[in-house]
Amino acid sequence: DGPGIPKEVQRRIFEPFFTTKGVGEGTGLGLSVTYGIVREHGGDIWVESEPGKGATFTVSLPLARREEVWEEERVEAFPEGRLKVLVVDDEPGIRGFIREYFSFVGCDVHEAGEGEEALKLLSKGDYDLIFLDIRMPGMGGKEFFAWVKEQRPELIPKIVFITGDVARSDTQEFIRTSGMACLNKPFGIGDLNELLRKLKEGK
């Protein structure tokens, strides 16, 4: 059920930042991130819709033997022990993807939907790796980063920014001047593998 999706919208629906919602009602990244994850797994996703008849999204994925799932691109856990990871992002899908990956490689993963919630988690203990979305409702990534820089500077080298907002010049400048690593949405298993390898190598 539903109003359906017009043909002209269907052609652009998986593009980053494309949205038919009003200002402040959505980032236009949800389906783009979904598309990236599906393609990263060698699959495809498409939409079928008619006016007044709702919409159907279909995902096609290649078959794999059970033991091959994740193992094909898996990076082994850190030899020094179980990493503690904090994911700060207002998108549940992004948090879930990072949580699934790092849980699989043997890490202890905690989540926060915005900066204030993340500060409460920091008050309870340290983290070895912090994924931080730059733009969020409430306390955003820039404000959280400034707080950490002032109050917990020892955590700065452990921060990795994640953002779908790289088209904005102020975001580009913030990332550049911060000197932090950054993952651009949508990202996939291969990007997390590369990041984990660099961390293991101390880069």
Domains of the chain: 7-60 (3.30.565.10), 68-200 (3.40.50.2300)
Task: Report the largest interatomic distance among the alpha carbons of the chain, rounded to a whole angstrom.
Answer: 57
Lowest mean pLDDT among 69-73, 106-110, 140-144, 162-166: 69-73
Query: Do residues 195 and 73 make contact, with C-beta atoms less than 8 angstroms apart?
Result: no
Sign of the CA dihedral running 52, 14, 160, 152: negative
pLDDT at 24 over 50: no
List the structure tokens of 106: 């043997």
Average pLDDT estimate for 99-122: 91
Question: What phi, psi does 48 have (nearest 5°)?
Answer: -125, 130
What's the confidence (pLDDT) of residue 113?
95
What's the confidence (pLDDT) of residue 32?
74
Q: How far, in Å, CA of 41 to CA of 32, rounded?
A: 14
Question: Sorting pLDDT into bands at 50, 70 and 90, what band is 19?
Answer: low
What's the confidence (pLDDT) of residue 16?
66
Cα angle for residues 48, 34, 130 (degrees, 5° grid): 165
Average pLDDT estimate for 159-174: 88
In 3-state terms, what secondary structure has residue 23? Answer: coil
pLDDT at 1 over 70: no
> Closest Cα to residue 115, out of 87, 75, 154?
87
Query: Do residues 45 and 57 make contact, with C-beta atoms less than 8 angstroms apart?
Result: yes
For the whole model, what pTM was predicted?
0.63
Question: What phi, psi does 84 have (nearest 5°)?
Answer: -105, 120
